[in-house]
Chains A and B, each alone.
Chain A
Amino acid sequence: MKRKAFGWSSLFCAGMVLMASCSSQSGNTSEDNGEASAPGDVTAYEPDSSTTYEIDWMPYITEPIDQDGKMVTYYEDKFNVDFNMVNVDHANIQELLNLKFASGEIPDVMLDGVSSDTIQQLVKQGVLLSLDEEVLKETMPDLYSKATELNPNWLEFAKVDDKIYGLPEMRDVYKYRTTIVWRGDWLENVGINKTPETLEEFEEALYKFTFEDPDQNGEDDTYGISLSGIPAIFGAFGYLPGYGPHDWQDWFWQERDGEMVFGAIQPEAKEALALLNKWYEDGVLDPEFITGENTGGYWALSHAFINGKIGFTGHGQYYHWNDELKNGDIGANYDEIQKISQEVADSLVHGLPPKGPGGMNLFAPNMLSGKIVGFSRYLEEEPQKLGKIFEILNHTSGTTKENNIEAVMGIEGEMWEENEDGIRKMLPEWEDVMDTGAGKFNLELGVFDLYEIRGDWAVEHGYDKGTLRNALFKPLPSESTYREELTKIRDEAYISMITGDQPIDAFDQFVEQWMNAGGDILTKEANEWYATLEK
């Protein structure tokens, strides 16, 4: 199928019949790029209306998409294209994609598999197409202007050596910081009437949770804090080390006196570690904190909290902890707690991160999600097809909210309806159908507000307060070389200092080790990049 597409479109764009081009995908590079490759020549990207382009479309799949799925055929008819849905399992995506790349197969559109972690390597492998900003502006006018308005540095994130290699996705749910949740009934049982606000109040509550039998079962079986609560404590000292349950937070850079610094090696982190070490020794910090609170299944569940082992958590995102909202949206953790006890669920208190000497800080993601939508380098020879793809993306993700909702949820009236409260509900016969292709043809950019109710809830519970964002939103040139090792060094050092295997003074040694293992190079690169930013 792929070959035929190549044959046909090369026939059109180069204007010559070259049967030989059908026999090899890479073989036709030299013949075809004569006319199309003048940079900024936007007319070359004008799709030919009489051609049915065949597009290998690789979505992010939780469930493989049917070739004849409702939305697949809908967009095929609408845009006069032929989608070949490439279903690549998300859990093994790197492995499977590398196999495909090795065999010369590159899906035209990759909505999965390209991310800030992998983009450099993929560029090195020559898989990704470099995009011209002028062309993006002209061929996807709505999408480009809306996304750029939302975040002027948007495309910066997909740049490698100053060339754009994809379209970074953005998510509006990331306006809000990570979680602070208390068990209200425990607070009450230990005689605290006010949600803890300062670091001292936090400490008091956590000690009482440990020693004053907050669940009133007569047994000493509770702890004050576990892994997911730790980032909040660091935040109170001003610098986030990225040490916590979620690895999407583990690369955290902040500004300090006009310079980019890595949170985990700041002197403030040492003070936080000393405090955590004290808590560990007093038995307030759950000795199982190293493995975290989730024991399997859905990643955002805090089993330790649900099972009443701890009464304070920072696990997951706010929307994993909300009660049932107007549109039926319910947090996964809330749902589980509710199954055990409705009263406990009702008593949950959403608080603010602790106020300490460094203020009140908790991780809030950048809008940039780390995901980048990439395009096959073979498209270089088929600018018209690329233009067609951009036309589709512009329509589904940039034009209007209606079009965006259609791409995300399907066809109004047929697949979902808006009820009298203004809430969009899937119709019963489509409720469980996952393979329609809905949500697979749009970019997530956050330009249209699709989560109004959830967002209101977050603001109401203070999730827009105390947010601290990663100042680094671009992959560094040598990141893939050093980052993994540096993360390991950090985790080992932190755990051994908290558990007392090493004295707190080992911190200085850790900083030195971190710097020598590539940290100094990355810090330099981060600052070089930072200097180029418009401030």
Chain B
Amino acid sequence: MKETSLGSRIFDFANILFMIILCCSTLYPFLYLLSMSLSPSTVSFAQIRIIPEALTLENYQQVLGYDYVIRGFINSLIRTILGTILMVAFTVAAAFVLAKKQFPHRRFWTMFIVMTMFFSGGLIPSYLLVKDLHLMNTVWALVLPGLVNAFQLIIARNFMMSLPEELEEAAKMDGANEIKILIKVIIPLSMPIIATLALWNAVGHWNQWFDSLIYMTDRDNDVLQVVMRRIVLQGNMEAMNGMMPQDSSNINPETLKAATVMVTTLPIICVYPFVQKYFVKGMMIGSVKG
């Protein structure tokens, strides 16, 4: 039965209004950037509004015609795909083992992994490690250090523990070994959690830039976010640095910057709607049984 007292209706109304305002305020900067990226450079940024006065695709053409951006795009793509596949594979494999009741010292290993969530080596040791493993300037420097995330591992483990044990027993009766059970039984049933992990990691890898900044010294290896950062920061970094301004006849390329931001953000936004349904499901199921 729907509650329709005046108080609750006012509450609903306020709630909806609040959500609409919240939506608008989150969408506004995005729309502003979109409008800016579509404006020709002869329009002053002071005149750019949500609805652009003049439209042009010139900015996009310029951004996409720039080989540094294209290289960055490819690097990001490689990193995201490789990173996501490996990460999901390793996380699922580890979670499968940890979910097994007969796994010796299971509690200890779980605690061991949880501990890493609270203590980490820090930036300098990580850097030294990557450097001494000769991973600098390779995609592995971006993929390997964060290969298995403790938090995600626990979620995946919990999900798998929630699967009925009888399924596994039945498979065993039919003569399946552990590997077969994982591939034929567990993975198909774990699709929601796998999709969740994949989305988390894909977004994470796509948006991550700091590791690339540290580990890549060759411009050809920069990921897209670093490329974008460089383009966007160009011009205002002197002011941030507190040093004397570099002599510069800088002509404000704000529209170009906006186009760059759009180019880097759109691909990953496009992934969301397709994985959304798994995402909610995977999170819920993983979280219920602790």
Contact = CB atoms under 8 A, between A and B. Distances in A.
A331 B248 CA distance: 9
B269 interface: no
Interface string B200-242: 0000000000000110011110100010011001111111111
Interface in A321-341: 329-332, 335-337, 339-340
- Of A86, A90, A306, the most chain B CB neighbours within 10 A belong to A90
B252 A301 contact: yes
A117 B45 CA distance: 34
Given A64-B222, A89-B230, A340-B46, A370 B250 contact: no
Given A90-B237, A297-B254, A329-B249, A248 B46 contact: no
Interface string A302-320: 0100110000000011010
Nearest to B41: A339
Contact of A339 (B43, B222, B226, B234): B43
A332 B251 contact: yes
Interface in A114-131: 115, 117
Given A66-B219, A102-B127, A103-B128, A330 B244 contact: no
B243 A300 contact: no
Interface in B100-120: none
B5 interface: no
Contacts of A86: 217
Contacts of B236: 296-299
B173 interface: no
Contacts of B234: 62-63
A92 B230 CA distance: 11
Interface in A273-311: 294, 296-301, 303, 306-307
A297 B252 contact: yes
Contacts of A201: none
Contacts of A299: 235-236, 238-240, 245
Interface string B62-94: 000000100000000000000000000000000
Contact of A297 (B68, B124, B131, B235): B235
Contacts of B220: 66
B247 interface: yes
B44 A339 contact: yes
Contact of B229 (A91, A96, A339): A91
- Of A115, A171, A339, the most chain B CB neighbours within 10 A belong to A339
B250 A332 contact: yes
Contacts of B245: 246, 248, 299-300, 316-317
A104 to B, nearest CB: 9
A399 B235 CA distance: 31
A247 B219 contact: no
22 contacts: A62-B230, A64-B230, A67-B218, A87-B219, A89-B213, A96-B213, A99-B214, A103-B127, A105-B131, A115-B243, A173-B247, A297-B236, A298-B235, A298-B236, A298-B252, A300-B245, A300-B250, A317-B245, A332-B249, A332-B250, A332-B252, A337-B44
Interface of A: 60, 62-67, 86-92, 96, 99, 102-103, 105, 115, 117, 171, 173-174, 246-248, 294, 296-301, 303, 306-307, 316-317, 319, 329-332, 335-337, 339-340, 365, 369-371, 435, 451
Interface of B: 42-47, 68, 123-124, 127-128, 131, 213-214, 217-220, 222, 226, 229-230, 233-247, 249-252, 254, 257
